[in-house]
Structure 1
């Protein structure tokens, strides 16, 4: 257990240097598109859904006693906004996948590594191909999220089991975000999404620590706009320090 928490703490620590890296002048040009996508999707989505839900909640809560109304109101707002932010964040990642892949490649170059996206003189056909690969990988992640998330959602609606739902969703969200962002450097180096899942299964403490730190970012207003490029940077730093050496040894993580 002590080893797990040490690994968790180490995984959690990648977010701060990632945020500093994204703020560097030579990295901003790669991060600007993901930031714009996050801003449009998160702000636009929250405003549109918020206006719709406000009227529905007002009508629903009008039948409750006033002393309970405020408590239920704030509870529902916090719960729905957190859930909606996570869903919109998934949409942002899908739309920004090609740009996130390029950002990860640029960070690897900054760290002195080479990958298939490192060549800035690559032709248009290769750029289109890489974009299709990035979006395809993102769809696989979304499929994994739905495959595991839907049963969890059903359990969250069952009385008794739903008492454990917040912890279960926190762990699930952290695990999915770690997969989301360590997949970019893995994909840039010729590894498919199953490689990220295999590594996450082997190093649960590290990956949950990384994902938990990013989950906190996605739930913080304003900070969640920067969560996507910071996540890409954190995942790439994580890959560089924890995974890259394993891929060139006989015991490297295999795609299954």
Structure 2
């Protein structure tokens, strides 16, 4: 039986958007945001041709059955959604890999703000530099967890008829991955291992999916996906504080 509160989970991203406007947190939102703008510009440049190529390759796998050909518009739509989800999470992976030291520190400041502690950034840059190796290793662990499962879903998406459920599976998987991706920042600050984090989120899976779903949707929207990353970090920290209190 799935545990947690899906509706409560949905509210954390909105709380995150409110938190990124707090004076003590803004600096560590703006710098990664600039990085994201530059990164998104490069990805957008290559996205159009990649999208067209992947769609054409997927359609070429379909057998020449009349009833399937009449549904080609549906397959274009489904494959388009799947590829957009892949590109959205691909953007998140690269953005977090580059900005992870900033986001770990942003999460720490957010938790202090939420728990009523003094938000002091005097040693911010020194701490960010110290945390770079550990932050990068955490991102690598998430990529290693994501890739084989994403490949499995991609293969399912290439099987005629079975691929009709691929978009639904991708939405569920991406929602789970977004929760893992961002709640990992406060978890890492508390030295919770990645396997332990997965077990912790699984214990309140509905809350995790509720948080991850709007993040996954926002990551697919150009421009909005630039600011959703720091908002998701702050929202995930609120998730960490509130869900740990309620468990």
Tell me the TM-score normalized by structure 2: 0.81
Greater Cα offset, 169-178 or 68-77: 68-77
Q: Which of 33, 36, 39 is 2:37 aligned to?
A: 39
1:201 corresponds to which residue? 202
2:103 corresponds to which residue? 100
C-alpha deviation, 1:204, in angstroms = 1.0
Q: 1:24 and 2:22 equivalent?
A: yes
C-alpha deviation, 1:26, in angstroms = 2.5
Go from structure 1 to structure 2 and tell me whether the alpha carbon gap of 1:79 and 1:204 turns closer, same or farther (over 3 Å shift): closer
User: What do residues 7-62 of structure 1 show as CA deviations (whole Å, max 9, x unaligned)?
Assistant: 1111011111110111223321111122122222223201223256669989xx9x
2:155 corresponds to which residue? 154
2:141 corresponds to which residue? 140
Whole-Å Cα distance in 2 between the matches of residues 201 and 42 of structure 1? Answer: 31
| Native 8 Å contact 2:55 2:80 kept in 1 | no
**3-state secondary structure, aligned to 2:89:** helix
C-alpha deviation, 1:91, in angstroms = 1.0
> Which of structures 1 and 2 has the larger relative contact order (alpha carbons within 8 angstroms, sep 6+)?
2
CA RMSD of superposed structures (Å): 3.2
**3-state secondary structure, aligned to 1:27:** coil
1:187 corresponds to which residue? 188
User: What do residues 173-211 of structure 1 show as CA deviations (whole Å, max 9, x unaligned)?
Assistant: 000000111111111012121122011211110000000
Whole-Å Cα distance in 2 between the matches of residues 178 and 76 of structure 1? Answer: 24
2:63 corresponds to which residue? none
2:67 corresponds to which residue? none
User: What do residues 75-121 of structure 1 show as CA deviations (whole Å, max 9, x unaligned)?
Assistant: 7766544432321221111111111101101111212367xx97843
**3-state secondary structure, aligned to 1:26:** coil
2:171 corresponds to which residue? 170
Whole-Å Cα distance in 1 between the matches of residues 204 and 101 of structure 2? Answer: 27
* Paired residue total: 235
